[in-house]
């Protein structure tokens, strides 16, 4: 497992079809690869390069620019603690250190059982709910050390599995455009002036 599975290849094809140029699908496809394997494997990058028609180096160039793409396996649960200004002011760092002790790893590390990876992250846009953290990009607000401990216990015990999918899965709802509803891609060099603009211009011209 590393190249796209049959099912994911279909999804990949649908994603590709939504863009005027295939390379625009690169980031979505990397997310798909990470959802499939929990991280982005070299084989996946090579497969994506084939699908888009670029070199693996170009795929890696984009992939490695974005923090969310992990090129090594990470824990089932990625725990991101915000320590940026708003959270720092209200104990973000303390929360991070508490979790470091609780999990026995430093920020950036992964627990030996492969359960948790802990990260010290920048602002995750929940500043009024400080201190906050995300588990696989699901939010937890105003987290006290006790709540953090409870959360870790729940995750270990699998009690949160229904609301927090394993690392790699972001949205569990995918966009799907029904064929009969599709307006179609606006492709440079092909697309012309939209009809409603032409029509309006005409009638306005007629009016005035």
From the CB of 160, what's the least distance to another protein, in Å? Answer: 14
Cα–chain-centroid distance for residue 100?
24
| 138-140/133-135 β-pairing | antiparallel
From the CB of 112, what's the least distance to another protein, in Å? Answer: 26
Distances from the Cα of 186 to the Cαs of 8, 11, 110, 155, 200, in angstroms? 25, 21, 44, 45, 20
From the CB of 15, what's the least distance to another protein, in Å? Answer: 9
Nearer to another protein, 60 or 115 (CB): 60
Q: Closest Cα to residue 69, out of 95, 90, 44?
A: 44
Nearer to another protein, 62 or 147 (CB): 62
Strands (E) in the chain, as ranges, are 77-82, 116-121, 133-135, 138-140
From the CB of 94, what's the least distance to another protein, in Å? Answer: 13
Nearer to another protein, 113 or 173 (CB): 173
From the CB of 88, what's the least distance to another protein, in Å? Answer: 5
**Rounded CA gap, 125 and 122, in Å?**
9
Nearer to another protein, 20 or 104 (CB): 20
**Rounded CA gap, 43 and 132, in Å?**
35
Nearer to another protein, 113 or 138 (CB): 138
């Amino acid at each position: 497992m590393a190249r796209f599975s049959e099912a994911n290849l279909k999804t990949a094809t649908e994603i590709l079809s939504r863009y005027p140029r295939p390379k625009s699908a690169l980031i979505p496809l990397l997310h798909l690869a990470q959802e499939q394997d929990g991280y982005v494997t070299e084989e996946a990058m090579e497969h994506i390069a084939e699908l888009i028609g670029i070199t693996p180096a170009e795929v890696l160039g984009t992939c490695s620019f974005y923090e969310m793409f992990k090129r090594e396996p990470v824990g089932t649960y990625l725990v991101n603690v915000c320590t940026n200004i708003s959270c720092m002011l209200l104990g973000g760092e303390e929360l991070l250190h508490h979790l470091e002790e609780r999990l026995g790893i430093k920020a950036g590390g992964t627990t030996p059982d492969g359960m948790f990876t802990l990260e010290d992250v920048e602002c995750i846009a929940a500043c009024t709910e400080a201190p906050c953290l995300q588990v696989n990009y699901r939010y937890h607000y105003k987290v006290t050390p006790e709540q953090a401990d409870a959360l870790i216990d729940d995750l270990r015990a699998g009690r949160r599995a229904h609301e927090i999918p394993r690392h790699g899965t972001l949205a569990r709802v995918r966009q799907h455009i029904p064929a009969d509803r599709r307006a179609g891609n606006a492709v440079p060099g092909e697309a012309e002036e939209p009809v409603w603009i032409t029509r309006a211009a005409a009638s306005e011209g007629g009016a005035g």
